């Protein structure tokens, strides 16, 4: 394995040159990691610096929440329409949580890739595994915390979850962290600016 700055590791699945040797245009990148690791903050900072990146919008069967706009926050579908997309192979990945289905539409992703834009997916572990099967050429990045104790501190620091919910998140995180070897690269999110710089290296944006 090759390390960069001690916090970024390239794994054995790498299929093409990284960093400045590869253009990010027309390539699919995927980010995943346990809840509380800072994926959303990292992605938001990346998009602010690089508006040319297209962030995939998920589709869901749940009802829109106040202020949510169809096609901007999610693509909202009736369950029958969602199931039809699944049957037709129209989703790169999908899963069901708390009675609602969520997935990544295939057509918009392929359209953006054909247009030459770098495409970014921010999804959960099981979704990442599905994308690996349906879109094996994508480059998958696993975000991990500097320690499990730090991850617990971040989750508790939100102040939004019950003790039971925190316990569930931590148990799930333990399982997810064991999957890091499946990914093309592993990035430790200890410091936002450093992690962002290393993510840019991985995506050929540095």
Domains and CATH numbers, the chain: 1-53+117-206 (3.40.50.300), 56-116 (3.30.63.10)
The ranges of the chain with pLDDT < 70 are 1-8, 10-25
Q: What is the pLDDT of residue 38?
A: 93
Cβ–Cβ < 8 Å for 141, 27: no
Task: Give the global pTM.
Answer: 0.83
Q: What is the pLDDT of residue 10?
A: 67
* Token representation of residue 65: 């929440």
* Cα–Cα–Cα angle for 49, 43, 8, rounded to 5 degrees: 95
Cβ–Cβ < 8 Å for 187, 202: yes
């Amino acid at each position: 394995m090759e390390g960069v700055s001690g916090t970024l590791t390239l794994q054995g699945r790498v299929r093409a040159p990284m960093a400045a040797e590869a253009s990010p245009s027309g390539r699919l990148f995927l980010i995943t990691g346990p809840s509380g690791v800072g994926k959303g903050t990292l992605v938001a900072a990346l998009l602010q610096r690089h508006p040319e990146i297209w962030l995939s919008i998920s589709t869901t069967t749940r009802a829109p929440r106040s202020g949510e706009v169809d096609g901007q926050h999610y693509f909202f579908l009736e369950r029958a329409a969602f199931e039809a997309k699944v049957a037709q192979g129209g989703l790169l990945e999908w899963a069901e949580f708390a009675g609602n289905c969520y997935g990544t539409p295939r057509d918009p992703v392929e359209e953006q890739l054909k247009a030459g834009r770098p495409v970014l997916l921010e999804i959960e572990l099981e979704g990442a595994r599905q994308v690996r099967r349906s879109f094996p050429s994508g480059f998958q990045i696993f975000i991990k915390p500097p320690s499990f104790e730090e991850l617990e501190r971040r989750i508790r620091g939100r102040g939004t979850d019950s003790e039971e919910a925190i316990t569930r998140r931590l148990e799930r995180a333990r399982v997810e962290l064991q999957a890091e070897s499946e990914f093309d690269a592993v990035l430790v999110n200890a410091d936002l600016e450093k992690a962002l710089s290393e993510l840019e290296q991985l995506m050929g944006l540095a």
